[in-house]
Structure formats: C-alpha cells, structure tokens
Amino acid sequence: MDLPDALGTATGLTCVVGAGGKKTTLYALADRLDRAVVTATVRIPIFDEEVAEVVVTDDPAAAAGRADRFPLGLVPEREREDRYRGYDPETVGDLAAAHDGPVLVKADGARTRWLKAPNDREPRIPRAADTVLPVASARIVGKPLTDERVHRPERVAAVTGREVGEEVRAADVAAVLASEEAGLKGVPEGATAIPVVNMVDDPELEAVGREIAEEVLARAPESVPRVALTRMVADDPVVAVVERS
C-alpha cells in the first residue's frame, strides 16, 4: 500500500497533529500527491525546500487557483527568519473547498518531541477536515516521560495515568493516540482518523509499533479504521498497516 492510500489522503482536507513526524508526514504526502497544497493553522518552520513554491498571501484560495507549480506552500506571513504563521481554521476550510486537489495542514505544534498531548487551545482543526492523522514516534517507548522527548508531559501523564518521569510504555502511546483528549481531540464528526506510528526504523521498533497499533484499535472508536506504521524519511515510508478486524 502506498502512503496516500495507507493514510486516506488522496483527496480532501487532511490535518496532521501530534508529535514525532508531523512535518515529514506532510512533505512525504505532498511529494506523492497531485496538485497538493501544504499549509498550517499554527506556526510552521520554513519549508521552502520541501515544495515547488511557497506563496505568502492573505487569499490562499485565489493563490491556489492561480498556481501552476505544485506541491504549493501557502502561508499568511513570515513571522521571523525561521518560521511562518498559519491561517485560521476557517480560512483553510475555504481553501480546501475551492482547491481541486488535496490540502495538507499542520494543525498543532510539538517542538520536535516524540509524543504530545494538546493544550486547551489545540489542535486547530478546520470543521471541514476529511482526515486527521495523529502522529507519535515508536522511539518514545522505553524513554522517560519528561519534557526532553515529550511535549507537555504532565498532560500525557493525565491521559495515561502515569507519573511524570516514569518510563513510557507502548500502552501509554496507544492511550494518547486513541484519546479524545489527545490524539483524537477535535476530530470533526464524519472525519476519519488514522493514527500514525512513525520512526519505525528496524524490526524491533516494528514490533513496538504493532503493539501500539493493536492497543489503539482496541481503545479507539469505530471511526478509526486502521493504524499506519511508517518511516517517513524512507523512499517507501509505509512499514505496515494494521487494520481493524
């Protein structure tokens, strides 16, 4: 199964949330989809080298309509030398309605950590989203639940019932990905959520990823049809797809 099929992102509005590979997921998808637009509802690091062109505009729908180079990046403002600002979710929804191709959205931040739970203001997912991809890294299993590798460890602790500083287990990652207070927070009614366990770099991590995936499917609602295990930096990013039985 290729990456867009595994993640259900061949068309429509897709939002990527979580930690451990959001940006690489966005860029891997954009590289494999026809007429893809990459944008954000939160700050996003400079990504000009990941797309054919980045356009700074207050009217992203019109800019997408004029574009002839894809994948196209659309942002409202360069906030400083290392990052752009994002649009409000309603503007991104309007963009997706007007564009004749997939729209890929970074919808929260994680400061390069491997696992996260959102704060009260996150994620910023448009109501029109068709697909939401909550991401976590397989590498976090066995690491301590601290801010070195976890964004907002106290919130992850609240979701998992663990204490800050304890070792993260596969079941803890699954709890985050399957929780409506974390990985599934803000998923619109009618949208499909496909959790992504990334950084599955070797057979040992694949075994970890499969354990996470099975636990996610046991915990998550029926609207979560499968979990993808990925290595987004690889030429073929899909390691495995664990389907709901």
Element (H, E) at 157: helix 153-160
Q: Where are the domains of the chain?
A: 3-243
For domain 3-243, is the CATH number 3.30.160?
no
pTM of the model: 0.97
- Binned at pLDDT 50, 70 and 90, residue 13 comes out as very high
Q: What is the per-residue pLDDT across 58-109, written as a single tens digit (0 to 9) for each?
A: 999 999 999 999 999 999 999 989 999 999 999 999 999 999 999 999 999 9
Q: What integer pLDDT is reported at residue 245 of this predicted model?
A: 81
143-146 contact pairs (CB < 8 A, 24+): 143/114, 143/167, 143/168, 144/168, 145/172
Q: What integer pLDDT is reported at residue 243 of this predicted model?
A: 97
